[in-house]
Amino acid sequence: KQEVTQIPAALSVPEGENLVLNCSFTDSAIYNLQWFRQDPGKGLTSLLLIQSSQREQTSGRLNASLDKSSGRSTLYIAASQPGDSATYLCAVRKQAGTALIFGKGTTLSVSS
Amino acid sequence: DAGVIQSPRHEVTEMGQEVTLRCKPISGHDYLFWYRQTMMRGLELLIYFNNNVPIDDSGMPEDRFSAKMPNASFSTLKIQPSEPRDSAVYFCASSPSGRMAYYGYTFGSGTRLTVV
């Protein structure tokens, strides 16, 4: 059974700092991996999606990497801003026709 | 497209009452998922459909929960009778298939259910 773990559970950093959020999964046979952002009391917004054949994806200040063989993904946020404060969720999909399995998230707080 | 639409946004009900949550997926998406989010357990998959057919309902907690998808544009999640431990945020998500699966999931804004 696939399990997704995110460490740390919470992270506080000052504005401007570069940071890395970690995600690990127990079964390396995945179809894709998706990073989401969730603001308090809100739904999930997709940030980046990495297919199993890809190594990384970039969007603005965000860069997500995937190392399938080791069962790891990282989300790199450059020059963090207070507006980046949110919970970041990692999720993996085993096959195209299956459901995403989520980690419990990392709650990020960026202070100005 | 307006995205995945869920209703109601908030629901407060008394224990023992029936609760129905509704979801309209994105047009053209043939997968629909229901998730439940709590502080303790995070996001848990309850059930998902492909082309209106339930594929995996192993996450449905017990017989009090049921879900239907009568057509490609509408799904319901029903809890009868509701209990305080059902209090959570319920999310609906949809996804395309085939080559379009490349684009992943889109989530609705969720329904916050409180059972008192």
pLDDT at residue A67 tops 70? yes
Mutate to test the interface with A, among B43, B49, B56, B97 (most CBs of A within 10 A): B43
**Choice between A56 and B97, residue whose per-residue pLDDT is larger:** A56
A43, A96, A97 ranked by CB distance to B107: nearest: A43
Confidence of residue B1 (pLDDT cuts 50, 70, 90): low
- Tens digit of pLDDT for each residue in B27-39? 999 999 999 999 9
Work out whether the CA dihedral A46, A22, A69, A92 comes out positive or negative.
negative
Confidence of residue B103 (pLDDT cuts 50, 70, 90): low
A49, A101, A104 ranked by CB distance to B104: nearest: A49
pLDDT mean across residues, chain A: 94
Find all residues with CB under 8 Å of A51, minimum gap 6, and list them.
Answer: A31, A32, B102
Residues in chain A, how many? Answer: 112
A44:B91 CB<8 A:
yes
A25 Cα to chain B: minimum distance (Å): 15
Mutate to test the interface with B, among A100, A101, A104, A106 (most CBs of B within 10 A): A100
- Per DSSP bridges, beta strands B31-38 and B42-50 are antiparallel
Interface membership of A101 toward B (CB under 8 Å): yes
3-state SS record for A30-81: CCEEEEEEECCCCCEEEEEEEECCCCEEEECCEEEEEECCCCEEEEEECCCC
What average pLDDT does this structure show over A76-87?
97
- Tens digit of pLDDT for each residue in B16-75? 999 999 999 999 999 999 999 999 999 999 999 999 999 999 999 889 999 999 999 999
Torsion of CA A47, B34, A51, A5, to 10 degrees: 80
pLDDT for B99: 61
DSSP classification of residue B25: P
Rounded to whole angstroms, the Cα distance separating A32 from A94 reads 7
Reference A108, options A75, A71, A72; nearest CA is A75
Confidence of residue B102 (pLDDT cuts 50, 70, 90): low
A34, A51, A105 ranked by CB distance to B105: nearest: A34
Sheet order of strands, A19-25 included: A4-7, A19-25, A72-77, A62-67, A56-59
* Per-residue tokens: A64: 């997500």
